[in-house]
Amino acid sequence: MKLLVMTDTHIRGTTPSRRLDDFKETLLDKLKEVGEIAHNEGVDYILHGGDLFDRPDTAPSVVSDFIKVLKDYPVPIYIVAGNHDLYGHNPETLPRTMLGILVASGIVSPLSIEPIFLEEQGVSLQLTGRDFDYDIDAKGSDAYNVSKDESVDYAIHLVHGMLLDKPFFENGYTLIEDVKTEADITIAGHYHLGFGVKTFNRKYFLNPGALVRSSADIKEVKRKPKVAIINLGEEIEIKLMPLKRAKAGKEVLDREAIEEEKYREKKLIDFVREVKASDDFKVLSMQEILNKVANNKDLAEEVTKEALARLAQAQEKLGKGGE
Ligand SMILES: [Mn+2]
């Protein structure tokens, strides 16, 4: 039995500010390539890890254009809802969303904790899924825990949650090593950079990364969008396949704008840190502090100006709020 995995397609009609191309056309082309890969590899099913749409109320004309591509896929598509597919991150809103319409019309089939049992070429598979919700990565969450039916060869669990191979932020994620599951393969979307294929306690964990690159983070610029092909035979084989028609990151993402923004942000953060670290400044006014730090640190004039402008804005707001 063969499956193709893709995730986080973020279908939208407009182009994100950091993209240099026509995002919609590029994505339509990528999804056509995914269909061709599914055909050429002879897969039996396609799994989508959620965030099919960038927003729950994507324009009908845009949805129509993508339906035309998806309904030409040679095999069924199973999916879980991502946070972007839902209103207020709430799975109960699904029927009112564009993903809900695709589910109702049979273009895609939803997965839940109630297993679906599939069989192809003498291999049986239990398929479960979990939509995004606020508690998915909370401490003690059972979102990634699945029991495997004794009768099946393999179990796959698909989750739109922040599953990571190593700690990244302070909280709000689940580590692979903390997942207690009987599923042979746990597939996650949501974390756009992906972690590829990992194994832990003889279980597989997979996140091929988002099919789209909507931020101009340097890691995104370097990343090539991929799908994964899972082959379930005597053993499990998983390979990652970069999309041939995905362009080089620097062709579609505007690095220059983000570099400038990062530089400004970093300078401002340094600035605030300096202020906080300096006990001498306690009795001075904010303007004086800024000027002193600026002089001491030999900061560019534009950074000082920006800080002063923001300070003025903040004071204006505070002034109004106080009345
Ligand atoms: Mn996403």
**What is the DSSP code string of 120-181?**
ETTEEEEEEEE---TTTTSTT--TT--PPPTT-SEEEEEE-S-EESS--SSSS-EEGGG---
Distances in Å between the Cα of 295 and the Cα atoms of 213, 274, 278, 281, 289 are: 40, 12, 14, 14, 10
| Domain 2-252 part of CATH 3.60.21.10 | yes
186 CA distance to ligand 1 centroid (A)? 17
Give me the helices (H) in 42-93, please.
60-70
209 CA distance to ligand 1 centroid (A)? 9
Q: Where in the chain is the domain with CATH 3.60.21.10?
A: 2-252
Distance CA 260, CA 301 (A): 15
190 CA distance to ligand 1 centroid (A)? 5
* Predicted local confidence at residue 283, as pLDDT: 52
304 CA distance to ligand 1 centroid (A)? 36
- Non-local (6+) Cβ contacts of 159 within 8 A are 49, 80, 129, 130, 136, 143, 144, 186, 187, 188, 189
* Predicted local confidence at residue 197, as pLDDT: 98
* Predicted local confidence at residue 279, as pLDDT: 56
Q: Which residues in the chain come in under a pLDDT of 50?
A: 281, 320-323
Inter-residue contact 29 to 146 (CB < 8 Å) = no
84 CA distance to ligand 1 centroid (A)? 7
* Predicted local confidence at residue 322, as pLDDT: 32
Q: DSSP letters along 168-234, please?
A: -SSSS-EEGGG-----SEEEE-S-TT--EEEEETTEEEEE---SS--S--HHHHH---EEEEEEESS
> Helices 301-322 and 286-297, interaxial angle, to 10°?
170
Inter-residue contact 241 to 280 (CB < 8 Å) = no
11 CA distance to ligand 1 centroid (A)? 10
6 CA distance to ligand 1 centroid (A)? 12
226 CA distance to ligand 1 centroid (A)? 15
8 CA distance to ligand 1 centroid (A)? 5
* Predicted local confidence at residue 323, as pLDDT: 31
Sheet containing 116-120: which strands, arranged edge to edge? 116-120, 123-130, 154-159, 185-188, 203-207, 196-200
249 CA distance to ligand 1 centroid (A)? 18
Distance CA 92, CA 100 (A): 10
296 CA distance to ligand 1 centroid (A)? 43
9 CA distance to ligand 1 centroid (A)? 8
- pTM of the predicted structure, to 2 decimals: 0.80
144 CA distance to ligand 1 centroid (A)? 18
323 CA distance to ligand 1 centroid (A)? 42
182 CA distance to ligand 1 centroid (A)? 26
Inter-residue contact 96 to 56 (CB < 8 Å) = yes
192 CA distance to ligand 1 centroid (A)? 6
Residue with tokens 């090593």: 177
DSSP H or E stretch at residue 2:
strand 2-6
